[in-house]
């Protein structure tokens, strides 16, 4: 048994090494869901810089207003497109068909993005675009190589290039490993200010997927509760029926 276990562990070792090699290490976001000012700034960034392409179709403006302490008037002047209703969901004005034509892949809905990718992934992704003349968008990304998304925050962050180290295999073949970024043109924000903006956006994405995640957990628990009660009744019924048969 021990031998089998050891063999199994050894067979998994290369996999573990591979998993470590894959991708770049993610930076920790340090977001804080109870920081309302950060969430308000994040919502504003989201509307101005993301909703041109992405929607959050499970999230209503008035829900955001309630959770972030904004009145309907503030919502209308601060976050919403002209002529919208506060009960509208956060849907991008970009038609899906056009988006697919322009980017090859429609920008995904971001309501639950923080749940699926994790906040450190989003935070590191948003700051890891680098100039790449070979790409149609002019940029590439070390967290999500060949992403179809352009560097939408370049004005704030500035541009950067990525330095890769060439690693040689014993057989002479070589591959590139990301080493570091070097700034090319400065943005409107300092690196520290940009990190804060990035953290605010990530915080807002985390907030959006959180109430929904909570709601679905709640539903899951109710379903399990129902099944337990149902099982008890089914069992009692079965006993009752068999009593009569015996
Ligand atoms: C000009 C259009 C456009 C804008 C604006 C834009 N994105 Fe994107 N985004 C895309 C496209 C297209 C993809 C799909 C990339 C792919 O799969 O290759 C994408 C993908 C993503 C992903 C990865 C989704 C996944 O899990 O695969 C995240 C996260 C994301 N965007 C966040 C943002 C945020 C946050 C903003 C605002 C700061 C933003 N995007 C603004 C076009 C856009």
* Whether the Cβ atoms of residue 58 and residue 212 lie closer than 8 Å to each other: yes
For the residues 3-11, what does the mean pLDDT come to?
A: 55
**In angstroms, how far is the first alpha carbon of the chain from the final one?**
47
**What is the distance, to the nearest Å, from the Cα of residue 221 to the centroid of all Cα atoms in its chain?**
25
- Name the residue of 53, 93, 187 whose CB sits within 8 Å of the most ligand 1 atoms, as the mutation to test its pocket: 53
For the residues 31-55, what does the mean pLDDT come to?
A: 96
- Residue 6 confidence (pLDDT): 59
User: Ligand 1, closest atom to CA 148?
Assistant: 18
Q: Report the separation in Å between the CA atom of 137 and the middle of ligand 1, taken as the mean of its atom positions.
A: 13
Q: Report the separation in Å between the CA atom of 110 and the middle of ligand 1, taken as the mean of its atom positions.
A: 8
With a cut of 50, say whether residue 19 has pLDDT above it. Answer: no
- The average confidence (pLDDT) of the chain is 89
Q: Report the separation in Å between the CA atom of 236 and the middle of ligand 1, taken as the mean of its atom positions.
A: 54
User: Ligand 1, closest atom to CA 104?
Assistant: 12
- Residue 218 confidence (pLDDT): 62
- Residue 70 confidence (pLDDT): 96
Name the residue with higher pLDDT: 4 or 59.
Answer: 59
Over residues 209-237, the pLDDT tens digits come to 986 544 555 677 788 888 888 889 899 98
Residues with CB under 6 A from ligand 1: 49-50, 52-54, 103, 105, 107-108, 110, 113, 117, 122, 125-126, 147-150, 152-153, 201
- Residue 151 confidence (pLDDT): 98
For the residues 124-131, what does the mean pLDDT come to?
A: 98
Q: Residue 128's closest CA among 27, 22, 19?
A: 27
Over residues 155-208, the pLDDT tens digits come to 999 999 999 999 999 999 999 999 999 999 999 999 999 999 999 999 999 999
Phi, psi of 214 (to 5 degrees): -60, -45
């Amino acid at each position: 048994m021990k031998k089998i276990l050891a063999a199994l562990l050894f067979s998994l070792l290369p996999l573990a090494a591979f998993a470590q090699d894959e991708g770049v290490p993610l930076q920790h976001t340090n977001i804080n869901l109870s920081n309302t000012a950060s969430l308000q700034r994040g919502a504003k960034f989201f509307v101005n810089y993301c909703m041109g392409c992405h929607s959050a179709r499970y999230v209503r403006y008035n829900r955001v207003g309630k959770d972030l302490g904004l009145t309907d008037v503030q919502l209308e002047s601060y976050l919403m497109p002209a002529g919208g209703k506060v009960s509208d969901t956060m849907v991008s004005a970009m038609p899906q068909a056009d988006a697919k034509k322009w980017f090859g892949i429609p920008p995904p809905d971001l309501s639950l993005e923080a749940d699926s990718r994790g906040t450190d992934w989003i935070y590191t992704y948003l700051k890891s675009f680098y100039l790449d003349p070979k790409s149609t968008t002019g940029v590439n990304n070390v967290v999500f190589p060949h992403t179809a998304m352009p560097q939408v925050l370049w004005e704030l962050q500035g541009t950067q290039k990525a330095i890769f180290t060439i690693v040689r295999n014993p057989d002479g073949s070589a591959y590139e490993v990301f080493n570091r970024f070097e700034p090319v043109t400065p943005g409107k924000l300092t690196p520290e200010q940009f990190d804060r903006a990035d953290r605010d956006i990530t915080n807002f994405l985390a907030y959006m997927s959180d109430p929904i995640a909570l709601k679905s957990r709640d539903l899951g628990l109710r379903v399990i509760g129902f099944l337990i009660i149902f099982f008890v009744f089914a069992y009692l019924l079965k006993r009752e029926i068999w009593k009569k048969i015996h």
